[in-house]
Amino acid sequence: TQLLEQSPQFLSIQEGENLTVYCNSSSVFSSLQWYRQEPGEGPVLLVTVVTGGEVKKLKRLTFQFGDARKDSSLHITAAQPGDTGLYLCAGLTTSGTYKYIFGTGTRLKVLA
Amino acid sequence: GAVVSQHPSWVICKSGTSVKIECRSLDFQATTMFWYRQFPKQSLMLMATSNEGSKATYEQGVEKDKFLINHASLTLSTLTVTSAHPEDSSFYICSARGERNRYNSPLHFGNGTRLTVT
């Protein structure tokens, strides 16, 4: 069974601080996605990384895919209250039905 | 952008009854849809992969006779929770691949269905 462990599980920070969320696995993934989910809603895609070592930036968010395609990180600069939510990484399996396995999740709260 | 509509958004039913949840791709065709279950404050757990015109592929530990999945068209997949019990109460979310025949295309999610079994 392929597992994706996220750390930290919970994070409460002040507005303006920086933070990094990690997504780790012992398995290799074809690609990896990051989502953010608000309570009572479905997850919304933030980014897809495909190539080992790839770095993508989305405004204040920086995403990196590990060289071996087993891990990823999400860095938020100058966090804002609007960044509050559940952040989920999801890895696309490399064979079989090509399904997405979701990480354990990181719940972020940014205080004003 | 691609829109996935899930219905109903919430449902309360009595123990022993069956509940059907619909997942529709509104502006694109989805050969593959996925059904997830999410417990409070936890991540999404993949229940099954639904392929249009064929039987669903269930994840280990998911009872296929309890969670019936039908994907009869390229825009509709349904999940029926049969003989529901209180332990089936959860948030169920469907998703669809954004582009047909591209296995690595992103997922588009419905807004989920909160099922409460009394």
pLDDT in tens, B72-88: 888 999 999 999 999 99
Strand, helix or coil for residue A82:
helix
Would the CB atoms of A92 and B103 count as touching at under 8 Å? yes
Contact A97/B49, CB-based, under 8 Å? Answer: yes
Most B CBs within 10 Å, among A58, A102, A104, to test the B interface: A102
Q: How far is A41 from chain B (nearest CA, A)?
A: 5
Q: Contact, B97 vs B30, CB < 8 A?
A: yes
How far is B76 from B35, CA to CA, in rounded Å? Answer: 12
Q: How far apart are CA B29 and CA B100, in angstroms?
A: 7
Contact B3, B25 (CB under 8 A): yes
Out of A90, A99, A103, name the one closest to residue B49 (CB): A99
Average pLDDT for chain A: 93
- A61 close to B7: Cβ distance less than 8 angstroms: no
Answer whether residue B116 shows pLDDT above 90. Answer: yes
Neighbours of A92 (CB within 10 A): 21
Higher pLDDT, B106 or A85: A85
Span B49-54, mean pLDDT? 85
Of the pLDDT bands very low, low, confident and very high (cuts 50, 70, 90), residue A2 is low
What percent of chain A has pLDDT above 90? 79
**Statement: residue A46 has pLDDT above 90:** yes
Nearest CA in chain B to A42: B111
Task: Say if residue A8 is preceded by a cis peptide, omega within 30 of 0.
Answer: yes
Residue B27: the pLDDT is: 84
Contact between chains at A30 and B46 (C-beta distance less than 8 A): no
Residue A28 DSSP one-character state: -
Q: Is the pLDDT of residue B101 over 60?
A: no
**Chain B residues with beta carbon closer than 8 angstroms to that of A33:** 106-107
What secondary structure, in 3-state letters, does B71-100 show?
Answer: EEECCEEEEEECCCCHHHCEEEEEEEECCC
By residue count, chain B amounts to 118
A42 burial via Cβ count (<10 Å: 0-12, 13-18, 19+): buried
Q: How far apart are CA A87 and CA B104, in angstroms?
A: 20
Mean pLDDT on A44-59: 94
Question: Could you tell me which chain B residue has the CA closest to the CA of A33?
Answer: B106
pLDDT exceeds cutoff 90 at B54? no
Q: pLDDT tens for residues A60-109?
A: 999 999 999 999 999 999 999 999 999 999 998 877 667 888 999 999 99
Taking the C-alpha atoms of residue A67 and residue A70, their distance in angstroms, rounded to an integer, is: 8
- Asked if B112 has any chain A CB less than 8 Å from its own CB, the reply is yes
- Determine whether the interchain pair A102/B36 forms a contact, defined as Cβ–Cβ distance below 8 Å: yes
- B31 interfaces chain A, CB cutoff of 8 Å: no
- Report the percentage of chain B scoring pLDDT > 90: 66
pLDDT at B114: 96
pLDDT score, position B97: 81
Contact indicator for A95, A2 with CB cutoff of 8 Å: no
Q: Which residues of A touch B (CB under 8 A)?
A: 1, 6, 30-31, 33, 35, 40-45, 48, 50, 88, 90, 92, 97-105, 107
Query: If you average pLDDT over residues B22-46, what whole number do you get?
Result: 90
Neighbouring CB atoms inside 10 A of A83's CB total: 18
